[in-house]
Amino acid sequence: MSNTIQVTDADFEATVLNSDRPVVVDFWAEWCGPCKQIGPALEELASDLDGKVTIVKINIDDNPNVPVKYGIRSIPTLMMFKGGEVASTQIGATSKGKLAEWIESGV
């Protein structure tokens, strides 16, 4: 079972911007090796941090509007949203420990 939530251009505002808790958005694509590399770590962190933060994924190939709006130029890019605003950004693949540190420092 997936712990991360798939979002689209259509439900991004409702799921991410209107959330009452911090949301980490993983901008990714099927062809992106580093995106696939961090995928399992994000799944584990979504489970570990359930209740503190929501982790969502948006496929940039299927949903071009949101990535353009936020100026996504390379993937994976992770953005933490709080109160509908970008609070922090992490670009590139890194270890589960570093991802956990980054997320926990923002929640």
Full domain range(s) for residue 23: 5-102
Amino acid at 77: T
Name the average pLDDT for the chain: 95
Catalytic residue among 35, 38, 53, 80: 35
Q: CA of 61: how far to CAs of 16, 33, 52, 53, 99, in Å?
A: 19, 15, 29, 25, 24
Q: What is the percent of the chain where pLDDT is above 70? A: 99
Is 27 among the domain residues?
A: yes
Is 107 among the domain residues?
A: no
Cβ pair 75, 28 in contact under 8 A: yes
Output the pLDDT for position 61. Answer: 97
Is 59 among the domain residues?
A: yes
Cα dihedral 95→97→99→103 (10° resolution): 180
Average pLDDT over residues 75-82: 98
Residue 35 bears catalytic tag: yes
Query: Considering the entire predicted model, what is its pTM?
Result: 0.96
Tally of domains within the chain: 1
pLDDT of 3 higher than 80:
yes
Question: What single-letter DSSP state applies at residue 16?
Answer: I
Catalytic residue among 7, 16, 23, 32: 32
Q: Which residues pair with 80 in a beta bridge?
A: 24, 88
Specify the CATH number for the domain of residue 63.
3.40.30.10
Is 37 among the domain residues?
A: yes
Residue 7 bears catalytic tag: no
Output the pLDDT for position 1. Answer: 53
